[in-house]
Structure 1
Amino acid sequence: MRMANTVPVLTVAQARALGCLIEKEATTPDAYPLTINAVQVAANQKTARDPVLALEPGEVQHALRTLETQRLAKQVFSSRAERYEHCAGQYFSLPQPQVALLGLLLLRGAQTAHELLTRSERLAKFSDADDVRHHLERLIQREPALAVLVPRGPGQREDRYAHLLSGPVDVAAIAARIGAQAGESAAPQAAALEARVAALEGEVAALREEIAALRGDRTS
Structure 2
Amino acid sequence: MNHDFHTRPLSPAEARVLGTLMEKARTVPDSYPLTLNSLQNGCNQKSAREPAMSLSEADISEAIDGLRECSLVIESSGSRVTRYEHNFQRAAGVPEQSAVLLGLLMLRGPQTAGELRINTERWYKFLDIASVDAFLEEMQDRSAEKGGALVVKLPRAPGAREQRWAHLLCGPVDLSVPATTAATSGAAEEDVIALTRRVAVLEDTVEQLRTQLEHLQRQLGG
Q: Which TM-score bucket, shorter chain as reference?
A: 0.7 to 0.9
Q: Distance in 1 between matches of 2:2 and 2:63?
A: 25
The question of 1:170 aligning with 2:174 is answered yes
The one-character-per-residue Cα deviations of 1:143-169 (angstroms, maximum 9, x if unpaired) are 311111012122111010000010000
| Matched residue SS, 1:62 | helix
The one-character-per-residue Cα deviations of 1:65-116 (angstroms, maximum 9, x if unpaired) are 2100111111111332111111110011111111110000000000000100
| Matched residue SS, 1:171 | coil
Structure number with larger C-alpha Rg = 1
The one-character-per-residue Cα deviations of 1:150-199 (angstroms, maximum 9, x if unpaired) are 121221110100000100000221x1xx22x76xxxxxxxxxxxxxxxxx
Question: Quick one: which amino acid aligns to residue 60 of structure 1?
Answer: I
Structure 2 unaligned blocks of 5 or more: 183-222
Higher mean C-alpha displacement, 98-107 vs 80-89: 80-89
Q: Is the 8 A contact 2:5 2:72 kept in 1?
A: no
Provide closer, same or farther for how the CA distance between residues 172 and 7 of structure 1 changes in structure 2, counting only shifts above 3 A: farther
Provide closer, same or farther for how the CA distance between residues 37 and 73 of structure 1 changes in structure 2, counting only shifts above 3 A: same
Shift >4 Å, 4+ stretches: 1-5
In the alignment, which residue of structure 2 is the partner of 1:101? 101
Query: Displacement of 1:25 after TM fit?
Result: 0.8
| Matched residue SS, 2:111 | coil
The question of 1:153 aligning with 2:164 is answered no
Question: Quick one: which amino acid aligns to residue 162 of structure 1?
Answer: A
The question of 1:136 aligning with 2:136 is answered yes
Query: Displacement of 1:137 after TM fit?
Result: 0.9
Q: Is the 8 A contact 2:72 2:91 kept in 1?
A: yes
Q: Is the 8 A contact 1:97 1:125 kept in 2?
A: no
The residue correspondences of 1:67-86 to structure 2 (distance < 5 A) are: 67-86=67-86
What is the aligned-residue RMSD (CA, Å)? 1.8
Provide closer, same or farther for how the CA distance between residues 5 and 29 of structure 1 changes in structure 2, counting only shifts above 3 A: closer
Question: Quick one: which amino acid aligns to residue 70 of structure 2?
Answer: Q
The question of 1:34 aligning with 2:34 is answered yes
Q: TM-score of the superposition, structure 1-length normalised?
A: 0.76
Q: Is the 8 A contact 2:153 2:164 kept in 1?
A: yes
Q: Distance in 1 between matches of 2:4 and 2:81?
A: 31
Q: Is the 8 A contact 2:33 2:84 kept in 1?
A: yes
Query: Displacement of 1:19 after TM fit?
Result: 0.4
The question of 1:13 aligning with 2:13 is answered yes
Query: Displacement of 1:5 after TM fit?
Result: 7.7
The residue correspondences of 1:166-205 to structure 2 (distance < 5 A) are: 166-173=170-177, 175=178, 178-179=179-180
Provide closer, same or farther for how the CA distance between residues 122 and 7 of structure 1 changes in structure 2, counting only shifts above 3 A: farther
Question: Quick one: which amino acid aligns to residue 150 of structure 1?
Answer: L
Provide closer, same or farther for how the CA distance between residues 57 and 5 of structure 1 changes in structure 2, counting only shifts above 3 A: closer
Q: Distance in 1 between matches of 2:83 and 2:153?
A: 34
Q: Is the 8 A contact 1:147 1:161 kept in 2?
A: yes
Question: Quick one: which amino acid aligns to residue 45 of structure 2?
Answer: Q
| Matched residue SS, 2:138 | helix
Q: Taking every aligned residue pair, what percent have the same amino acid on both sides?
A: 43
Q: Is the 8 A contact 2:5 2:91 kept in 1?
A: no
